[in-house]
A and B are shown apart, each in its own frame.
Chain A
């Protein structure tokens, strides 16, 4: 038996010990310190298993099947490390390791709620540990010693793809904590938001970072000029992000007025379920092959975890109905509820589209998502522009001001571009921007509020960027050029100057030199490449895209193929406003991190006390 496998058994035993001790503690035994020890042992064993696998990768022990499948002798050090989470087994091990880290931190408060939450998290960990011990064992050895590995998929050899899984899985594992606290605290009729809020923010931010890295990778690597293809893997990571975004807004209402408790509870549970679904979809390839479901033995395990967690959460909710009593008042709370409704409708749309291939013999096209998500996104942005004004006096006047600014900007844009939809988009952008400016000016800005401002500015930039890049992208997918030839595509002239062939470490490059002219002026020379890796894999040839980024548009070129006679076929794209997508997404993520920073937490506690004081004063008067 492999030593790594023994470590996994050790972590399983620690988990069981921790769960037993949690229940002993609930019954009144004084065993808090031992729970902490059990958690620490679990973390230590999992970390040992993780580092054992890493060690096998670093020493190129191809006798280990997982190492054989995901690395080769030419693989650089950085990608040898990232290969640990390139496949299903290693990803699940990372999930488990993250749960171990969260378990180390979550035992700060010594009470029954924490003990039960601890037990819930341990049960989730048992699930992944069980998979690692059975169907997803990363330590399986081959009965021979291959001299060379199969190799990491060349497409994954980018910094973005090295970092994407650790970010995404940190987000996934983190969503377990709000779920565990929501169920445990509701069981003891306590509130869970304060305990879980920071975990929620951190998990949400990392999920966002992961999604952004994935989109950026797709844009730079896949060569189709887009960053979001609505494929099942992308969708599955977006789903929990959408519900967690809804939850972050619901939390606002609950913190202030005590309303929306049931909705928040449901959102916490659903987010967790979607995280499990996402892990399953991402790491099983189930949607791509229609018949895989019956053959994939893990499918039923994941389904079981989703059903069990939902049923348990439902049972707790039914038995503690009274906990969810509470009211929300005022126009602002109503508007926040509307935003939650929009997030939920977006989630339902993506979920239906993603699961369609599993349920019937068909799939939906990208247009399905765009038809629904673009109007929903637009509604969300308009709503934001109104919502940020709802706390201020002179609500109507301010909305009119925003409207005037938006209409003005839209008309100016139309005069210049003559594009109706683009002008409408710019108008909405300015309307909401004015709303944010008016809504936050003159107010005290702590870190938490700064986070909200950043995230909301990010949202409207993302909106305008998505609109530009989806609706006004020009694509020229069949550009054929021989050396010395030039062709006119749209406003641009492309000229193929020649090729170069370069031998690198374990790979071979064919580089094309393409000059791009606009209005007779040279804009730049682009170098799309084909990279041929020295591997036994079928997919060892990848196209390397070249992009010239300008503030308002990207020029994007990918080389499809080169024939012996030296004719290359290129795909050429002009993508407007795509930089807004990246800046907007970064701001959204930064907003989450800002709001989770320690200083804003202290302020929050203080302001909560103040609010309570004010409420007391109101009641007394």
Chain B
């Protein structure tokens, strides 16, 4: 009985350490643009903001650059890939890391603009990340 208890104890402790380590490395906090810029370098965060009109630059090789603002501060965001219904002036959440003065986004979630001008512009879909 004693042996079993010790074994279970060891398993639980090892598991606890693994869990804590994985949790720490995979935690992705919600932060503001101002926080990111003032810190200068942060990794693995989610930043909420608005895409600043007139700042978008489309580079070859599907690379997109734009500024994200929280009303006080702006930061430059770079993203590799296509974003369906990308639009300036709409709210967005970017997930990734900030270094060398640029936010490198692994993921960009665009919030739907209130008026959907689908038929005039293009057919596009909303990327669904959660269920309804």
Contact = CB atoms under 8 A, between A and B. Distances in A.
Is the A/B pair a real complex?
Answer: yes
B126 A541 contact: yes
B117 to A, nearest CB: 12
Contacts of B30: 290, 361-363
B28 A362 contact: yes
A541 B125 contact: yes
Contacts of A290: 30
B94 to A, nearest CB: 14
Interface stretch (B15-23, B49-57, B69-77, B97-105): B15-23
Contacts of B31: 361
Contacts of A341: 8, 11-12
Interface stretch (A71-79, A366-374, A402-410, A452-460): A366-374
A231 B132 CA distance: 12
Interface string B51-92: 000000000001000000000000000000110110000000
Interface string A460-481: 0000000000000000011010
B27 interface: yes
B124 interface: yes
Contacts, number: 110
A156 B132 contact: yes
Interface stretch (A117-125, A294-302, A487-495, A557-565): A557-565
B130 A560 contact: no
Main secondary structure, interface of A, reads mixed
Nearest to B124: A561
Contacts of A234: 131
Contact of A352 (B8, B23, B121, B124): B23
A290 B132 CA distance: 16
Given A352-B19, A543-B125, A363 B82 contact: no
Contacts of B82: 477-478, 480, 560-561, 569
Given A362-B27, A364-B23, A367-B26, A541 B112 contact: no
B125 A560 contact: yes
Nearest to B18: A372
B6 interface: no
Given A156-B132, A233-B130, A510 B123 contact: yes
A364 B27 contact: yes
A361 B47 CA distance: 12
Given A363-B46, A364-B27, A561 B19 contact: no
Contact of B123 (A223, A364, A368, A562): A562
Contact of A541 (B23, B26, B123): B123
B38 interface: no
Q: How large is the interface on B (under 10, 10 to 19, 20 to 34, 35 or more residues)?
A: 35 or more
Interface string A526-543: 000010100000111111
A372 B84 contact: no
Given A233-B131, A539-B112, A569-B82, A564 B122 contact: yes
Contacts of B62: 478, 480
B29 interface: yes
B125 A372 contact: no
Contacts of B130: 231-233, 288
B122 A561 contact: yes
B31 to A, nearest CB: 8
A368 B23 contact: yes
Nearest to A479: B82
B112 A538 contact: yes
A357 B130 CA distance: 14
A404 B28 CA distance: 43
Interface in A144-171: 153, 155-156
A563 B23 CA distance: 41
Contacts of B132: 153, 155-156
Contacts of A532: 118, 123
Among B82, B84, B124, B125, chain A packs the most CB atoms within 10 A around the CB of B125
A543 B63 CA distance: 24
Given A364-B27, A480-B82, A539-B112, A155 B128 contact: yes
Given A480-B82, A541-B126, A371 B26 contact: yes
A213 to B, nearest CB: 12
Nearest to A537: B116
List the 4 closest A-B pairs by CB distance, nearest first.
A368-B26, A561-B124, A362-B29, A561-B84
15 contacts: A214-B131, A231-B129, A233-B131, A290-B30, A345-B15, A360-B29, A361-B29, A368-B26, A371-B22, A478-B82, A532-B123, A560-B124, A561-B124, A561-B125, A563-B122
Given A361-B30, A543-B125, 16 more contacts: A233-B130, A290-B30, A348-B19, A352-B23, A356-B27, A363-B30, A365-B28, A365-B44, A372-B22, A477-B81, A478-B81, A539-B112, A539-B126, A542-B125, A561-B122, A564-B121
Interface of B: 4, 8, 11-12, 15, 18-19, 22-23, 26-31, 44, 46, 62, 81-82, 84-85, 112, 114, 116, 118, 121-126, 128-132
